[in-house]
Amino acid sequence: MTAWIEGRFEENVITTTLEQAMNWAQASAIWPMTFGLACCAIEMMAVGASRYDLERFGCGAFRATPRQADLMIVAGTVTHKMATRVRRLYEQMPDPKYVIAMGACTIGGGPYFKHGYHVVKGVDLVVPVDVYVPGCPPRPEALLEGIMRVQDKIKARKVTKGEFTLPVPHHEGHVRPVPIT
Ligand code: SF4
């Protein structure tokens, strides 16, 4: 769309679209919420530490309040008692917001699937999940991969053409499938 204008200005001038600029800004500054539910949270903490350095992706600013966070990483066993709290935290996050289900417990109940009467059999029963990161626990590299997939979803979002409305966009339907290259 901008091909006619590309390269027609001096060097050091960049032309882009509003959509690309907005998506790039959010994808490059995802703020996860600070909370963990069980052992998977230890791997999540490792991602934020120096060895894996989540800040390389612009996503290291873990927020202590849902009102400043746009990424919920559900890391650990979701019990029925905790599920209502997870839902409440999710609803307190501003739109647009994203959810990663990290680990077997979060995705489907994990080792508690058969006999754990107290465990929710998948956090997608509580909040809408964007990316699943399997494992028990997943390696920190796996969570990094999941965060990059969230960034792909944000970058593919259509800001124009009515698919994205400000200031409070709806959570569903903003994302085009990203072609696998
Ligand atoms: S998936 Fe495994 S490591 Fe993660 S919370 Fe469940 S039991 Fe713990």
| Number of residues that this document lists for the chain | 181
What is the whole-number distance in angstroms between the Cα of residue 72 and the centre of ligand 1? 17
The response to whether 59 counts as a known ligand-binding position is: no
Ligand 1 pocket test: pick from 39, 47, 143 the residue with the most ligand atoms within 8 Å of its Cβ: 39
Main-chain dihedrals φ then ψ at residue 96, nearest 5 degrees: -80, 140
Instruction: Report helix, strand or coil for 108.
Output: helix
In this predicted structure, what is the pLDDT of residue 159? 65
What pLDDT tens digit does each residue of the chain (181 aa) get? Answer: 566 766 666 677 777 788 888 889 989 999 999 989 999 999 999 999 999 999 999 888 999 999 999 999 999 999 999 999 999 999 999 888 999 999 999 999 989 988 899 999 999 999 999 999 999 999 999 999 999 999 999 988 886 655 554 444 445 544 444 444 4
CB proximity list for 71: less than 8 A, separation 6 or greater? 30, 31, 32, 33, 59, 97, 98, 99, 100, 147, 150
Main-chain dihedrals φ then ψ at residue 16, nearest 5 degrees: -155, -175
CB 153 within 8 A of CB 98: yes
What is the whole-number distance in angstroms between the Cα of residue 78 and the centre of ligand 1? 10
Beta strands in the chain, from DSSP E residues, in sequence order: 71-75, 98-102, 131-133
In this predicted structure, what is the pLDDT of residue 5? 66
Could you give the domains of the chain? 27-155 (3.40.50.12280)
Ramachandran category for residue 179: left, alpha or beta (phi over 0 → left; psi -120 to 50 → alpha): beta
